[in-house]
C-alpha cells in the first residue's frame, strides 16, 4: 500500500478545514467536496442519522441527478437495501472495497447492483461509517464509473483515517448544536418565569377588567371595595409600565396566557 506525500499533505489540509467548520450544517455541506480532494470520486452520498439528512454530491447534470436520486429513494431508501448492503458488518469492514460488495456469485441477479448501481454507472464504490460511543452518526459512500479504476488500498486507508477525524468533529458539532437548543429552551423557560408576576387577586382583577367592568363592578364580584381594586390597579400599572387600561390589558393578557 502506497500513499504519496502529496496525498498526505491533502489529507492534512482537509482535516484542518473540517476542524474549522463552526456548525454541523457547514460541516455536512463541505464534507463531500473535501473528501474528493483526498479520494477522488464521481458520485457520493452522505446519510446523517442525527440530524436526519441526505446529501448527494454528483457529477451528473442537476436535473439528471434529481431524477436519479428520486428513483433511488422510491426503490431503495424505504427498505434500506443500499445502506444495509454497503455497511453490513458481516461482509464489509468500516471502509470496504467495491468488489467486496459487487463481485459475489449472484451479482448478475442482484437487484441493488444491476437495478441501481450499474444502471446509473456507479460501478465501483467504497464507504465509511462515522461512529461515536457505539452509535452511528452517519454513513458516507463514494462511487466511480467503470471508465475509472477501482479504489485502491491507499485510498481506502485515507478514507478510513479521514472518517476517524470526521466522526470526532461531527459528534462535537452535534453536541454543541444540541446544547445550544437546550440552552435556548432553558432561556425561554427562564424568560417566561421572570415575566412580571401577578398575584391571584391581580389576575382576577385583570380578567374582570378585560370584560369591561368598572372598579365598582369588579369590587362587587370579588367582595372587595372599589378603593382596594384601585390600589391593585396602581400596582399593576407600576409592574407593567402601562400608561392606560388598554395598554395594561395588552401586556397583562399576553403574560397570563404564557403562564397557563
When pLDDT is averaged across residues 113-142 and rounded to a whole number, the result is 73
Tens digits of residue pLDDT in 217-259: 999 989 899 899 999 999 888 888 888 888 888 877 766 665 5
What single string gives the DSSP state of each residue in 133-178? TTEEEEEEEEEE-TTSPPP-HHHHHHHHHHHHHHHHHHHHHHHHHH
Mean pLDDT, residues 190-195 taken together: 49
List the single range of 30-34, 57-61, 193-197 with lowest mean pLDDT.
Answer: 57-61
CATH of span 200-259: 1.10.10.10
Distance CA 248, CA 167 (A): 54
| Chain position carrying cell 471508465 | 147
Higher per-residue confidence, 189 vs 126? 126
Domains 5-176 and 200-259 share a fold: no
- Return the CATH number of the domain spanning residue range 5-176: 3.30.450.40
Domain boundaries, the chain: 5-176, 200-259
In this prediction, what percent of the chain has a pLDDT beyond 70? 62
Predicted confidence band at 95 (pLDDT cuts at 50, 70, 90)? Answer: very low
Q: What is the pTM of this model?
A: 0.52
pLDDT band with cut points at 50, 70 and 90 for residue 68: low
The predicted-structure confidence for 156-186, as pLDDT tens digits, reads as follows: 889 989 989 998 898 888 888 767 665 555 5
pLDDT bucket at 131, cuts 50 / 70 / 90: confident
In angstroms, rounded to a whole number, what is the distance separating the alpha carbons of residues 34 and 212? Answer: 66
CA torsion sign, 225 to 228 to 232 to 233?
positive
- Do 57 and 33 meet the contact criterion of CB atoms below 8 Å apart? yes
Judge whether 215 and 230 are in contact, CB under 8 Å: yes
H-helix segments, the chain = 5-19, 24-38, 62-72, 81-86, 98-102, 153-193, 200-210, 215-222, 226-240, 245-259
pLDDT of 77: 52
Grid coordinates standing for 10? 491533502
Q: Which whole number is the average pLDDT over 12-32?
A: 86
Tell me: the pLDDT tens digits for 30-49?
888 889 889 988 877 787 77
pLDDT in tens, 133-155: 877 788 888 888 777 888 888 88
Highest mean pLDDT among 2-11, 57-66, 68-77, 189-198: 2-11
Q: Residue 143: what pLDDT?
A: 80
Amino acid at each position: 500500500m502506497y500513499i504519496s506525500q502529496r496525498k498526505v499533505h491533502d489529507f492534512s489540509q482537509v482535516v484542518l478545514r473540517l476542524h474549522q467548520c463552526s456548525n454541523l450544517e457547514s460541516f455536512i455541506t463541505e464534507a463531500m467536496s473535501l473528501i474528493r480532494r483526498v479520494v477522488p470520486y464521481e458520485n457520493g452520498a452522505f446519510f446523517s442519522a442525527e440530524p436526519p439528512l441526505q446529501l448527494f454530491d454528483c457529477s451528473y447534470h442537476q436535473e439528471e441527478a434529481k431524477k436519479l436520486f428520486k428513483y433511488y429513494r422510491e426503490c431503495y431508501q424505504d427498505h434500506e437495501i443500499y445502506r444495509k448492503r454497503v455497511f453490513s458488518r458481516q461482509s464489509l469492514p468500516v471502509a470496504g472495497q467495491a468488489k467486496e460488495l459487487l463481485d459475489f456469485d449472484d451479482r448478475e441477479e442482484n437487484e441493488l447492483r444491476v437495478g441501481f448501481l450499474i444502471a446509473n454507472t456507479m460501478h465501483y464504490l467504497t464507504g465509511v461509517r462515522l461512529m461515536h460511543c457505539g452509535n452511528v452518526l452517519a454513513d458516507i459512500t463514494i462511487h466511480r464509473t467503470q471508465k475509472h479504476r477501482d479504489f485502491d488500498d491507499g485510498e481506502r486507508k485515507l478514507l478510513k483515517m479521514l472518517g476517524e477525524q470526521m466522526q470526532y468533529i461531527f459528534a462535537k458539532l452535534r453536541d454543541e448544536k444540541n446544547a445550544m437548543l437546550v440552552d435556548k429552551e432553558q432561556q425561554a423557560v427562564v424568560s417566561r418565569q421572570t415575566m412580571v408576576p401577578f398575584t391571584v387577586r391581580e389576575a382576577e382583577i385583570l380578567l374582570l377588567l378585560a370584560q369591561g367592568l368598572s372598579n365598582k363592578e369588579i369590587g362587587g364580584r370579588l367582595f372587595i371595595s372599589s378603593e382596594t381594586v384601585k390600589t391593585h390597579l396602581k400596582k399593576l400599572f407600576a409592574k407593567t409600565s402601562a400608561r392606560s387600561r388598554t395598554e395594561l390589558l395588552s401586556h397583562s393578557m399576553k403574560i397570563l396566557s404564557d403562564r397557563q
